[in-house]
C-alpha cells in the first residue's frame, strides 16, 4: 500500500508512527502548506514533499490518503480522493456543516474506494468491553447516562490560523474535543431522539468565535443523558462517561472501565493498553488499533466499521446540539 500523509501537524505524527511500524505500508508523500512540516515528516520515510494536495494526488497516485488537516478542508479533500478511487482515512470531524456532510455521504456512495473516520476511542478495550456487556442484556436495560469532558485550552492553543474560528474549526469544544464522547454515547446507546443544549464562551471571550463550553440534556429513546463539555478547566481531566443500567453502574473514566453490580456489590475493572507513542493521553490509545484495522479491512476486502455512513447519527447529534444552542429550542432527531 502506498500512503500519503496530508497535513503534517500534531496528530499526523501519531499516524506517521503507526504507519512506520506497519509491514506492507509505504509512506510515499507528505503534504503540508508549510513546506518544513511536510519535509520534517517526509525525511524518515524518504517520501516526496508537497505543499499542494491536488498536485500530490495527480503525480503520486497513492492508494490511501490520511487527512490530518484543519476541519474545513476534510470534506473537499476526501471527495477529491474518493473521485479518483483513492482510499481515505480522515481525522474527525468528518464535516463541519450538515450540507458538507451530505456531500461526503454522497461521495462515499458513488466511490468504490474505502473511507474511514478516526473515532479511535471505539477501539479502546474499555469501550469494546462495555459495548459487549450492554449488548448482551446481562446488565438490564439502560436507564440513563452522563458524560463530562473538562479540559484546558488557552489562548496559545488558538494562536494558529484555524482553531477558534467558526469558518475553519466549525465550532469549539463540541465539534473538536467532545465529539469523541458524543460518538461513544451514540455507539453505546444508539441514536439520540431529542436535544436541548446551550453553549457559552466563558474564558476566551474576544479571542475566539466558538464555544468553550456546551451542555446538553439529551434523550435517547426517552432515557435521559446529561452532557457537559468545557475547555475552561485547569487540567485535561480524564473524560467520564457513566451508564446506569437496571442491574449495574458502568463508568468509563480515562483509561479505565468499572462495572459495579448492584445485586452483590462486586466490581469488574478493565484497563486500556498503553499506546507507547507521542500521542497525548487524552486523545485515547486507540489510534494504533483504528489505523491498523483500517488497513486490515482494505487487505481483507471487508468493510471498515467507521465510515461517514456509520457515523451519521453522531454527526446529526452534533449538528442538532448546535442548532438547539443557537435557537434556544428543543430539537428532535428523526
Ligand atoms: N482523533 C483525535 O483524537 C485527534 C486528535 C488531535 C487532532 N485531531 C484532528 O486532526 C486534524 C488536525 O489537527 P492537528 O491538531 O494535527 O492540527 P495542526 O494545526 O497541528 O495540523 C494541521 C496541519 O495541516 C496543515 N494544513 C493546513 N492547510 C493545509 C492544506 N490545504 N493542505 C495540506 N496541509 C494543510 C497545517 O499547516 C498543519 O501543519 C483535525 O481535524 C483535528 O480535529 C484528531
Place 177 in a pLDDT band, splitting at 50, 70 and 90: very high
pLDDT at 285 over 80: no
Q: How confident is the model over 322-332, as a mean pLDDT?
A: 98
283 is written with which cell numbers? 486523545
106 is written with which cell numbers? 454522497
Q: Which helix (H) or strand (E) holds 184?
A: helix 179-189
Q: How confident is the model over 242-266, as a mean pLDDT?
A: 97
34-41: long-range contacts (C-beta < 8 A, 24 or more apart)? 34/8, 37/8, 37/9, 38/8, 40/8, 41/5, 41/8, 41/12, 41/13, 41/16
Q: Which residue has the cell 469523541?
A: 180
Task: Walk me through the domains of the chain, giving residue ranges and CATH numbers.
Answer: 2-119 (3.40.50.720), 121-281+306-332 (3.30.360.10)
Return the CA Rg of the chain. 20
311 is written with which cell numbers? 457515523
Q: Which helix (H) or strand (E) holds 260?
A: strand 256-261
Tell me, in angstroms, the distance from the centre of ligand 1 to residue 120's CA. 16
Tell me if 32 CB under 6 Å of ligand 1.
yes
pLDDT, averaged across the chain: 96
Tell me if 7 CB under 6 Å of ligand 1.
yes
Tell me, in angstroms, the distance from the centre of ligand 1 to residue 85's CA. 23
Ligand 1 atom at shortest distance from the alpha carbon of 71: 41
The b/e string for 288-309 (b: 16+ C-beta within 10 A; e otherwise) is bbbbbbbbebbeeeeebbbbbe
Tell me if 77 CB under 6 Å of ligand 1.
no
Tell me if 10 CB under 6 Å of ligand 1.
yes
Tell me if 72 CB under 6 Å of ligand 1.
no
Number of other CB atoms surrounding residue 202 within 10 Å: 12
Please name the residue whose Cα sits nearest to atom 2 of ligand 1.
283
Give the separation between CA 133 and CA 248, rounded to whole angstroms. 10
Kindly report which listed range (31-45, 121-135, 162-176, 273-287) carries the lowest average pLDDT score. Answer: 273-287
Place 280 in a pLDDT band, splitting at 50, 70 and 90: low
pLDDT at 273 over 90: no
Q: Which residue has the cell 478542508?
A: 73
105: phi > 0 → left, psi -120 to 50 → alpha, else beta; which?
Answer: alpha
pLDDT at 110 over 80: yes
Ligand 1 atom at shortest distance from the alpha carbon of 120: 1
Nearest alpha-carbon partner for 117 in 140, 148, 87: 87
**Percent of the chain surpassing pLDDT 70:** 97
CA distances from 85 to 111, 315, 333 (A): 7, 24, 33
Q: What is the pLDDT of residue 283?
A: 54
Q: What is the pLDDT of residue 334?
A: 77
Tell me if 40 CB under 6 Å of ligand 1.
no
Q: What is the pLDDT of residue 274?
A: 73
Residue 221, helix vs strand vs coil: coil
Amino acid at each position: 500500500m502506498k500512503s500519503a500523509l496530508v497535513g503534517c501537524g500534531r496528530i499526523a505524527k501519531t499516524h506517521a508512527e503507526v504507519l512506520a511500524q506497519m509491514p506492507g505500508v509505504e509512506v510515499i508523500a507528505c503534504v503540508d502548506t508549510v513546506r518544513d512540516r511536510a519535509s520534517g515528516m517526509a525525511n524518515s520515510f524518504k517520501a516526496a514533499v508537497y505543499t499542494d494536495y491536488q498536485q500530490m494526488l495527480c503525480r503520486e497516485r497513492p492508494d490511501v490518503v490520511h487527512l490530518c488537516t484543519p476541519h474545513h478542508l476534510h470534506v473537499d479533500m476526501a471527495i477529491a480522493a474518493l473521485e479518483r478511487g483513492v482510499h481515505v482515512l480522515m481525522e474527525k470531524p468528518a464535516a463541519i456543516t450538515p450540507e458538507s456532510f451530505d456531500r461526503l455521504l454522497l461521495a462515499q456512495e458513488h466511490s468504490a474506494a474505502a473511507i474511514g473516520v478516526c473515532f479511535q476511542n471505539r477501539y479502546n478495550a474499555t469501550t469494546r468491553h462495555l459495548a459487549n456487556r450492554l449488548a448482551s442484556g446481562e446488565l438490564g436495560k439502560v436507564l440513563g447516562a452522563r458524560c463530562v469532558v473538562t479540559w484546558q485550552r488557552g489562548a496559545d492553543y488558538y494562536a494558529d490560523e484555524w482553531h477558534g474560528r467558526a469558518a475553519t474549526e466549525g465550532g469549539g469544544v463540541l465539534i473538536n474535543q467532545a465529539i469523541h464522547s458524543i460518538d461513544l454515547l451514540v455507539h453505546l446507546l444508539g441514536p439520540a431522539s431529542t436535544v436541548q443544549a446551550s453553549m457559552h464562551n466563558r474564558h476566551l471571550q474576544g479571542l475566539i468565535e466558538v464555544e468553550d463550553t456546551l451542555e446538553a440534556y439529551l434523550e435517547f429513546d426517552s432515557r435521559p443523558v446529561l452532557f457537559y463539555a468545557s475547555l475552561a478547566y485547569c487540567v485535561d481531566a480524564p473524560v467520564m462517561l457513566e451508564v446506569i443500567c437496571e442491574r449495574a453502574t458502568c463508568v468509563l473514566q480515562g483509561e479505565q472501565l468499572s462495572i459495579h453490580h448492584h445485586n452483590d456489590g462486586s466490581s469488574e475493572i478493565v484497563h486500556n493498553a498503553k499506546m507507547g507513542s507521542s500521542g497525548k493521553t487524552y486523545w485515547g490509545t486507540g489510534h494504533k488499533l483504528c489505523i491498523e484495522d483500517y488497513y486490515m479491512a482494505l487487505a481483507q476486502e471487508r468493510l471498515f466499521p467507521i465510515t461517514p455512513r456509520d457515523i451519521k447519527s453522531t454527526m446529526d447529534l452534533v449538528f442538532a446540539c448546535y442548532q438547539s444552542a443557537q435557537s434556544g429550542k428543543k430539537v428532535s432527531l428523526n
